[in-house]
Each structure stands twice: as C-alpha cells, then as structure tokens.
Structure 1
Amino acid sequence: MSHLSLLGAMTLATGLLTLPTLAGAQSLPAPDQDETGWRHGAAFYLFTPIRTTGTSTVAGQSADLDLDLGDVLDVLDFAAAGRYEAWNGDFGIIVDANYVGIKQDTSLPGPLGSDLNVDVRQKWFGVLGAYRIVDSVYGADDQRYTIDLQGGVRYNSIRQEIGITTPGPVNPPVLGGDQDWIEPVIGARGMWRLNEQWTGIASLELGGFGAGGNDLQVGVNIGFDYQPWEKTALTFGYRYFSVDYSDTLSSGEFAYDVDQHGPYFGIKYFF
C-alpha cells in the first residue's frame, strides 16, 4: 500500500465507528417497557462506510481520498462503540463511547530495507442531556412518535502517526502525533412506532464548532429498529457523516476533511 493510500486508510479508520453519537438506545419506550420511574437502554453499533471522499493531511503531505470499505478493513486493528441512555419522563441522560485503531507495517521500495509504520487511534467519550419536546400519536391506530433535543460535551483523542524504521542507528522523526480536545455537541432525533415490532428513526447531530480545530462535524441517520424479542432490538439504516478538522503540529499540518456514507448495523437492549 502506498504512502498516500495509507493516509487515506487512516482517515477512513478514524470515522469507521462514529454512529453511536447519533442513533443510540431508544428514547421512545420499547413495547411493554415500564414508563414509571427510570428506564434504560444500551446499544452497540458498527458503521460501514462504502465510500469516503475528501482530503487527508499529515505532516503537510495531503492525499485526495476516494476509498471503499475494503481499503480500511485491510489494516483495521480493533474497534468498539456503544451508547447508554437513561430516561425518566421527558428527561434523558446519554453516555457514548468509541474506540477504533489501525496498524500497518509495510516495506518501502529500495535497497535499504526501510519499513513504513502507521499507527492510528481515535477515541471519544461523550455526555449529553436530552429533552423530549414532542410525545404524541398519529394515524388511525394511534401509533406513538417522539422528538428529542440533545446537547452536551464530548472528549476526543486522535493519534495519526507515520514512522520510518531504517537499518541504520538513527530513524527519521515520527510524522503526525496526538491531539486531544473537548467540543460541544447538539442534536435532534425523531422516532415513530410503525407497529409492535418496527420503529422508524431519523436523527441529526452537529459538533465541533471550531473547538480544538474541529470546524464542524455533521451526522445524519435514517433507519429502523426491529424488535423480535421483548428486551432486544436489531437496528439498521443508512448514515452520512462529515468532519472538517485541522491543526498544526511540530511535524507540520495535520488535517482531514472528509465525507462518508454507508449502512449501519447494531443491537439494542432495554431494561
């Protein structure tokens, strides 16, 4: 894989599991879920972008991106994402967490036998409050629907490093580095019951607003929950995600400005 292709895979990997900031566990109570007092939900997700376009920059070197999912799966090391929601009446508390990492070691062409090492880690932890502004029914069967507003803060940490290992006693400095910041997040979500097993979901989230170099992060989800069991639902749909991040490190400009879209899949538990 070339240097520029590795930069592209790094960018794709940092967005691979971004879904939990949006869809989350149901704020609309699951069928038969007790609505007196607190109710809880936990969700685990995978976002699989089928196309990523934009620009990635590490140490002042930019790569134009036009990637598919296979480009990042070749170098994926580990990924996990989840979200917890607790609701009491119209008020909710949301906690989400995300971790994704890739590693790639490849030999560089030439007689010296040098190796190119790529290490990427992204993690975040967010805490949001939520308030249900609409709780009503529609249609001849009086199916329920809700609209929630959400807002809070998210801690982010991103590592994007490229290093070269040579046979000699001295290696070139590592390019890229680690960035940490806290950013505001706002969002809205609508959910509508279709029947006892199916629920539609649409959500929008905005984050960054210049905090830590993240000018704007946008996420849009449209999908469904299917609940064949009393306490468990399957969730799936389609997601659009974009981020415009830039900063300057000691090794040079560090940035990625990308758009992604593709299906998401997950499972939810209610208790």
Structure 2
Amino acid sequence: MYYHVNGELVPADEATVSVRDRGFMYGDAAFETLRVYGGTPFEWDAHRERLQRTAETLGFADAVPDDLRDRVDETLAENGLDEASAKVSVSRGVQPGKLTPGADVDPTVVVTCTPLPRGGRDGQRVWDDPAAVQTVRTRRIPSEAVPADVKTHNYLNGILGRLELRRAAGNREAADECLMRDMDGNVVEGATSNLFFVTENGLRIPSDDLDLLPGVTRSVVLDLAREESFPVETGHYSLDAVRDADEAFLTNSTWELRPIASVDGIEVGTGPMTTLLQRLFDERVEAEYY
C-alpha cells in the first residue's frame, strides 16, 4: 500500500509524521472518512465542506489544500483501488510543544486508503449481520464544551463508549455499536454512526440541535426518505422510544445502512422501510458511480 503524506506518495510502512505534530500531541486535526465507489469518492463535496468547516473551527482554515481531491485520486490510483475507504487528515502541523497554537501553520496532510468490496446494487455489505447495539453511561460531550458538528482527531468520547462495551461484554462478544445520550438523557448517536428508527408514525431521527455529528450518509438517507414521501420527524427521543421501535438502523460512510438487531438485548430488527431505503441507496450508488 502507498499513502499520500504532505504531497508525496510513500510506501505505507514508511509513512510517518513527526512526534511533535499537533495532531498526534493534542488531537489538533480534522479528518474525513470517505467511501469510494467505482474509483470516485461518494459525496465528495459534502465531505470536503465539512472538513473545511472543521478546519475553520480549529482556526487553520487555509490548511486544507486546494488539490486535496487530486491527492485522494492519486492515492487510489497508486494502490489500484476502485472500491475503498479513504481517510483524509489535516493537522495544524509541527509547532513548539505548548498548548496555545502558533499563528503560523505548516499543515500535515495525509491520505490513506483501505480496500472494500464493491458497492451499489450488485455490491456486498461490509458488515456480516445487523448490529447489536448497547446503551453506555458515557455521555456525548456537550457542544458548549467541544462543538459536536466538527470532526477532529480527538475521538476520546467515542473511544470511551466503545471501551465501555468491551468491559460490559466480559468474556462474551461485545456489541457492535454503543448508543450515546446527551447530558439530558436524549438519544443522540453511536460512537461512529447516526441513528434512525421507525414507528407507526414514520421515520424518526435525533434532531440536529442535539449534541451530534450530522453524517453525510445520514443526509443522503434523509433525502431518499423525503423523495419517497415517507413521514420524517426529527426530535428529542428517549431510550425507550428506540427500544420500542418497529425498525431501526445506523448509517455511516462505511456501513452505509446497517439494520439494528437489538438495543440492550431487546429485539428491534429490520423491516420494510429499512429494506426499501437500503435498496434506494444501493440504486443511487449504482446509477451515479458505476
């Protein structure tokens, strides 16, 4: 494998960044994970805009290079990959080892990739089974402390949630995803995924005004649901509302739409709306990328 590091393609085992890089030292970096179909990054503009927004929030808006898409394409081509997950990272770069950032930024820009199976109508899921989901005590960091709508290298919140799953499992297999709540007890999202659930009244999703990261795939699925005139409601929901749902699923760039088999051991499972949205998503990918 070859990765793109600061404008150069290098073998993966030689790809390094400085131990004084602020992305390593403080999580002072922005990133995006992209699904690649047929050699083309899915929803590139949306991912690029969110990366830019994160960099602006962190105070290094000019660090995102204009040729970032070219670097992604070069990385995919060098590795002969048309189906992949690609990750782009932009850090503030190397600076003196103090917390306050310096005004001058020499960013570190890295592109990595991982092979994935084909997507679309004739594709293969990257997951084997619907997800077992478990609620954790770890709460989502309030946006008043760390903005929830930016995607930085500091993923400790999600890591702590996933570690909680491991501790709870003991000698058993851990759940596939944790379900996190905000400080008021509202269900918000998973460690790396957005939540959808279905009731007799339609499709329900936690509102954007909660402490969550609105995902790119989440946005696409919402568009598909509205195009089909599905009743869609965004709001503040309790854990019981999700446990009592008729259907539920998770979304992210790699999983696409992954049905939820159970929440805290309570069976939820897939259903007609989840199945239809999966098909519509696959058909959109097929039409636009193959």
Please, what TM-score do these two structures have when normalized by structure 1? 0.25
Greater helix share, 1 or 2?
Answer: 2
Greater strand share, 1 or 2?
Answer: 1
Higher relative contact order (CA 8 A, sep 6+): 1
